[in-house]
Amino acid sequence: MSPGTIAAPAVTPLALTLRVAARMTMRAALASRLRPRAACAQACTLRLELVLDARTARRLALARGTRPVTIATGARTLPAAGARTVTLRPNARARRALARAGTVTATLRANATDRAGQRRSRSARLRLTR
């Protein structure tokens, strides 16, 4: 390094893991008992959302278009490295639609952001059964 050059501080890459059961009952999801476990290798902010694809959303009369629809969200801040559960709460329209639905497959998306602004995302498929 030449004189007068300032070295950038080393930034640890953000690592995110997500654990959720592959199958869950509709009753538990409607009662806000959908609690996936997410872990970060350092302090981070977690934002999770449960998303239905456009076809399923249209079938449940939640949307008319071709875009995925978010049916539940949750967030949590981790002050240090570790794993925590995040409770997802379904919105009112989704709660009404899911109450009369059969089996539905949804995607759980997790996004983590650390203090340095790094972002990481993970997703998992989840089947909600009657």
Instruction: Determine the pLDDT at residue 10.
Output: 62
Kindly tell me the number of DSSP H helices and DSSP E strands found in the chain: 3, 9
Distance CA 54, CA 51 (A): 9
Tokens 């934002």, residue located:
47
Furthest-apart CA atoms within the chain: distance in Å: 70
Mean pLDDT per 10-residue run, the chain (130 residues)?
65 91 90 92 96 95 93 96 95 92 95 94 94
Residue 11's pLDDT is 77
Count of residues making up the chain: 130
Output the pLDDT for position 7: 63
Query: What pLDDT is stored for residue 97 in this prediction?
Result: 93
Residue 104 has phi, psi (to 5 degrees) of: -130, 135
Q: What domains does the chain contain, in order, with CATH numbers?
A: 16-129 (2.60.40.2550)
For residue 1, the model assigns a pLDDT of: 56
- Our CA dihedral for 45, 46, 47, 49, rounded to 10 degrees, sits at 180
C-alpha R_g of the chain: 18
